[in-house]
Amino acid sequence: MKQLLVILVAAVFSCPLLADEFDEVRAKIKTILLEENVPSLAVAVAKDRNVIWEEGFGWADRESHVKATEHTMYSLASISKPITATGLMVLVERGEVDLDRRANAFLRDEKLTSPFGPTREATVRRLANHSSGLPLHYQFFYEDEPYSRPAMNESIRRYGVLVRPPGERFQYANFGYGVLDHIISLKSGTSYSEFMRREVFLPLGMNHTSIDIAPGLEKHAAVRYASDQTPLPFYDFDHPGASAVFASAHDLVRFGMFHLKQRGSNQRAIISDESIDEMQKLTADAGNGRHYGVGWFIAPDEHGYKTVSHTGGMGGVRTRLCLVPSEAIAVTVLCNTSSSAPLRMTREILAAMLPKYGEDLRKEPEHNPAVAGRGHGPPELVGYWQGSISTYEGERRLEMWAKPDGDVHMQMDGELRMLLNNSRLSDGRFTGVFSGSIGTGDADRRPHRLHLDTNLRGETINGSLAAISLPARKAGNALSHFVELKRIDASPTARSLFNGRDLNGWRVIDKYDFVRHGKVIVEDSTIVLNAGTPATGISTTRAFPRVDYEVSLEAKRIEGSDFFCGMTFPVKDDYLSLVIGGWGGGVTGISNLDNMAAVENDTTNFQEFEQGRWYKIRLRVTKEKVEAWIDDAQIVDVELKERKLSIWWEQEPVRPFGIASWHTKAALRKIRLKIL
């Protein structure tokens, strides 16, 4: 029985090298594997030019009973970034790439674009330190699904959009490293994977390292396991340079030693010590006391020590590589499921080696995030906002209502309004989450929510709207798109009545005077009412208030000489019409008051209207009065008490609210309603 137990333990825990100082860590790893159902961990530790501990625990492949060892190849996820950055620096030293030159100078057909103007500030360095203006992005393509990674030119067209000015702030952006691996391929004249194999992996003696799983290395690769402990299908990305490297713990700790300037006997200096220093310069503030250089996170004070490190995490992957330059220490812990164990065990290993680190670690307070309560909305945000989301398949309309009580509602293309959850404005950054679909083929492959990450810039909000997949067995996607909103009204009760694209919410009137209406079309965010004989008009199909509201729009006469904006509207239980440019082209007023038309009652006015010029028209209806303005000059101010209100019978089809022209070609835009 004792001999059988020894065999079983040996099958699960292989131990080529054991340092006594790590006995407690080894015991914790064994407990984690058993209690947290983690398939395997691999560990490697180096100090002062020597690997002092490397070991595999558990199963690299449970189904085939393949044990994990220090030579098992794990998917590294984002530890791919410092490895890709090392390949990039090879080209920098050769003069093929300049870190501080604009990235577009090294791209060919498809370039990075920006709604903010020129992209010259989006340099190679800013791609490498996540400050280029690219947004959050990750996208997976599974081998058991009918989707494949597009060519990089197409991916750049879709997602190479800078959603904020370069250098404004740190935003972790996988796609930036996808662009960098593309630059490596273009400048080297070979594939990214072949360049990395030839110029990085082989010279550094990394024989169990490759981009994806290279032919001949399949038997060494750990299976990636989902949270339900089943194997995940193999998957690919549109950002290989950010995520696609597989490496063993043995190889990765040696890579770390190279970046500590402690090359092994069979490692060649592929980049100079000066380039290693350049990669570790603090060039972007990543928050929480951390910075980012070229491919590395740098923490000036991690429990008393400066560390240079990177983590990785995605479906079936969790990893960390950590360097402590002052102590010549490199530690890596790799795992083939989404467990926090590699992060915890890296800290435990450093605590075992560095007593001061351990003391600091034990003093670290528990993180208990405060729950944000509902309060008053920031006054600089309150109001009605309108804008669009720019996707590779076209524009989508977006509206936002921010109320004084803190509630914020979002609406896309006139669909159901949604509450913006966890909305927050802090230091000019406005964020939140709401339900909806971005509507592109890429995003709609997975159920998702929409995550807003923007900046408030006076009367404009812009940044990214990301479609982030809901939690599932397979890791989903985060696909960001540029979004911009402008404050249209200081009142959060305002809303648009015209989406700028079609007549959704409107009907073309075809009765009485409108039976021979002109063609109604939408073009350039404008409704065009072609001349009818005599009338052309549209009427809303939506519910409309009967009192205490305000309507605003812009209208112009294109051809003809009669009214180009006849607006019929409700007033409590009755209706009235506001006429702009009638009776030969210049009369304005209300029909009908006390059975008298706009040309013959106390609201009658006359104004010259220029052909082809837009006029701003505003109508306000309360219980006491009706008021109207043209270009902010008041033309109607009528008390309703003891007045008889009516419309011509021919205008009845326009009810409850509509706009018409008379023998005139007219155009309408920016039609909005505000509840008073």
The residue-averaged pLDDT of 26-30 equals 96
Q: Given this model, what pLDDT does residue 499 score?
A: 87
pLDDT tens-digit profile of 538-593?
A: 999 999 999 999 999 999 999 999 999 999 999 999 999 999 999 999 999 999 99
Specify the DSSP element, H or E, that contains 412.
Answer: strand 408-412
6 or 592, higher pLDDT: 592
- In sequence order, the 6+-apart residues with CB closer than 8 A to the CB of 358 are 303, 350, 351, 352
Q: Given this model, what pLDDT does residue 21 score?
A: 84
Q: How far is CA 359 from CA 251, 302, 348, 479, in A?
A: 30, 12, 11, 41
The residue-averaged pLDDT of 338-348 equals 97
| d(C-alpha 495, C-alpha 487), whole Å | 11
Q: Identify whether 592 is preceded by a cis peptide bond (ω within 30 of 0).
A: yes
- Judged by DSSP in three states, 385 sits in strand
CA 133, chain centre distance (Å): 11
SS3 of the chain: helix, strand, coil, percent, to 5: 20, 35, 40
Buried b / exposed e across 238-262, counting CB within 10 Å, b at 16+? Answer: bbbbbbbbbbbbbbbbbbbbbbbeb
pLDDT tens-digit profile of 488-532?
A: 999 999 999 998 889 999 999 999 999 999 999 999 999 999 999
- How far does the chain reach from its first CA to its final CA, in angstroms? 84
| d(C-alpha 78, C-alpha 318), whole Å | 9
317-324/329-335 β-pairing: antiparallel
| d(C-alpha 43, C-alpha 71), whole Å | 10
Band (pLDDT 50/70/90 cuts) for residue 415 is confident
Band (pLDDT 50/70/90 cuts) for residue 368 is low
Band (pLDDT 50/70/90 cuts) for residue 19 is low
pLDDT tens-digit profile of 378-406?
A: 889 999 999 999 999 999 999 999 999 99
pLDDT tens-digit profile of 158-186?
A: 999 999 999 999 999 999 999 999 999 99
Q: Which of 220-224, 317-321, 379-383 has the lowest mean pLDDT?
A: 379-383
Q: Given this model, what pLDDT does residue 375 score?
A: 47
Q: How far is CA 641 from CA 332, 576, 597, 618, 648, in A?
A: 82, 15, 18, 22, 21
pLDDT tens-digit profile of 265-292?
A: 789 999 999 999 999 999 999 999 999 9
Dihedral in degrees, nearest 10, Cα atoms 25, 26, 32, 37: 160
| d(C-alpha 585, C-alpha 666), whole Å | 12
**Residue 47 pLDDT greater than 70, yes or no:** yes
Domains parsed from the chain with CATH numbers? 75-363 (3.40.710.10), 383-496 (2.40.128), 506-675 (2.60.120.560)
Q: How far is CA 514 from CA 5, 327, 438, 658, in A?
A: 92, 86, 38, 12
Q: Given this model, what pLDDT does residue 11 score?
A: 37
Q: Which residues pair with 312 in a beta bridge?
A: 319
Q: Given this model, what pLDDT does residue 419 score?
A: 96
Band (pLDDT 50/70/90 cuts) for residue 377 is low
Q: How far is CA 542 from CA 505, 539, 592, 600, 661, in A?
A: 6, 9, 24, 32, 21
Token look-up 């309603």 returns 673
- In sequence order, the 6+-apart residues with CB closer than 8 A to the CB of 135 are 161, 163, 164, 171, 173, 453, 463, 464, 466, 480
The residue-averaged pLDDT of 28-52 equals 96
Q: Given this model, what pLDDT does residue 14 score?
A: 39
| d(C-alpha 202, C-alpha 174), whole Å | 25
433: number of Cβ within 10 Å: 18
Q: Given this model, what pLDDT does residue 373 score?
A: 44
pLDDT tens-digit profile of 603-628?
A: 999 999 999 999 999 999 999 999 99
- In sequence order, the 6+-apart residues with CB closer than 8 A to the CB of 253 are 44, 45, 46, 51, 54, 321, 330, 331, 332
**Residue 1 pLDDT greater than 90, yes or no:** no
**Residue 371 pLDDT greater than 60, yes or no:** no
Tokens of 676: 């008073």
**Residue 441 pLDDT greater than 50, yes or no:** yes
pLDDT tens-digit profile of 641-663?
A: 999 999 999 999 999 999 999 99
Q: Given this model, what pLDDT does residue 16 score?
A: 41
Q: Which residues pair with 630 in a beta bridge?
A: 617, 633
Q: Given this model, what pLDDT does residue 378 score?
A: 82
**Residue 4 pLDDT greater than 60, yes or no:** no
Tokens of 145: 């699904």
For the chain, the residue count is 676
Name the average pLDDT for the chain. Answer: 94
Using a pLDDT cut of 70, give the percent of the chain over it.
Answer: 95
| d(C-alpha 641, C-alpha 574), whole Å | 13
Q: Given this model, what pLDDT does residue 366 score?
A: 65
Tokens of 357: 């680190």
121: number of Cβ within 10 Å: 18
Q: Given this model, what pLDDT does residue 376 score?
A: 58
Q: Given this model, what pLDDT does residue 367 score?
A: 57
| d(C-alpha 150, C-alpha 158), whole Å | 10
Dihedral in degrees, nearest 10, Cα atoms 387, 617, 495, 117: 10
DSSP collapsed to 3 states, 297-341: EEEEEECCEEEEEEEEEECCEEEEEEEEHHHCEEEEEEECCCCCH
Band (pLDDT 50/70/90 cuts) for residue 364 is confident
Q: Is 30 left (phi over 0), alpha (psi -120 to 50) or beta?
A: alpha
Using a pLDDT cut of 90, give the percent of the chain over it.
Answer: 92
Q: Which of 171, 172, 192 is nearest to 183 (CA)?
A: 192
